[in-house]
Amino acid sequence: MVILTKIKSEKRNSIIIFFLIAILLLLLVSCHQHLQKENPYNLKIISNVSDYKKLISINPEETLVDIEKLIPGIVLDIRYATKNNFTNQQIYSSPKAFVRKPVAEALLKIHTALNSKGLGLKVFDAYRPYSATMKFYEVYPDTNFVAAPWKGSVHNRGCAVDLTLIDLNTNTELEMPTLFDDFTTKSAHSFLNLSETVLKNRELLRDVMTKYGFVQYEHEWWHYDFVGWQDSDLMDILFEEL
Ligand SMILES: [Zn+2]
């Protein structure tokens, strides 16, 4: 009887162990699939808030700053928080613009310099979570206009900004070669078949941006990268989590 009970108990234990191993394997597989989905190219991406907090406690310069809070009067028109963008889908849940601290400080200087001329900045996009870059490439797989997901975008690093100039008196955009996210050769800096005014406006934006530490992107007159962006990590954290 004692032997029979012992055998039964051993059988029960092995069933329990079998199920525990099965559950563990399932968890491992699902975790792996999750990572595959989010980061199939094995990039170094900060994708959870605790890692981000750790990073900024070591290096506060990496803090993603809310542009609207730092720069009074800056205008935001965050297209990816609406359906009015090339994906025809709302990508962001809120119309926010964040960039790393030194980038935000440079934008403040630019906006202030422009204000003395009766002009200001209007921002279309700034920090962009990596998962949005994946989505963009799915919709428009042309790496001249959409960042390659196997590299990530400078927007994912919080060091790029898409923007234009506005006239503060009329609150309207200065005329530029194209509208934002026009994926044609007309958006390139090398495109010269434009009116004097448009050429002057594009040059004005380029001059002020490059003066304060940005470099232009050849294919898009609206996109600027902050010098030294390579030192900032790619991120996949939602605006709400910042
Ligand atoms: Zn851009």
Task: State pLDDT tens for residues 153-193.
Answer: 999 999 999 999 999 999 999 999 999 999 999 999 999 99
Task: Provide the token pair at 193.
Answer: 């078949």
Q: Rounded to the nearest whole angstrom, what is the distance from the C-alpha of residue 7 to the centroid of ligand 1?
A: 68
Using the predicted structure, report yes or no on whether residue 32 has a pLDDT greater than 50.
no
The whole-number pLDDT of residue 5 equals 59
The whole-number pLDDT of residue 29 equals 47
Q: Rounded to the nearest whole angstrom, what is the distance from the C-alpha of residue 162 to the centroid of ligand 1?
A: 5
The answer to pTM > 0.75 is yes
Residue range 2-9: average pLDDT?
Answer: 59
Alpha carbon of 74 to those of 159, 167, 172: distances in Å?
18, 12, 13
Q: Which residues of 98-108 are buried (b: 16+ CB within 10 A; e: fewer)?
A: bbbbbbbbbbb
Task: Provide the token pair at 126.
Answer: 């700034």
Q: Other C-beta atoms within 10 Å of 234: how many? A: 21
The whole-number pLDDT of residue 39 equals 82
Backbone phi and psi for residue 42, each to the nearest 5 degrees, phi listed first: 60, 35
Whole-angstrom distance, CA of residue 158 vs CA of residue 98: 7
Q: Rounded to the nearest whole angstrom, what is the distance from the C-alpha of residue 38 to the centroid of ligand 1?
A: 21
Residue range 46-55: average pLDDT?
Answer: 96
The whole-number pLDDT of residue 30 equals 46
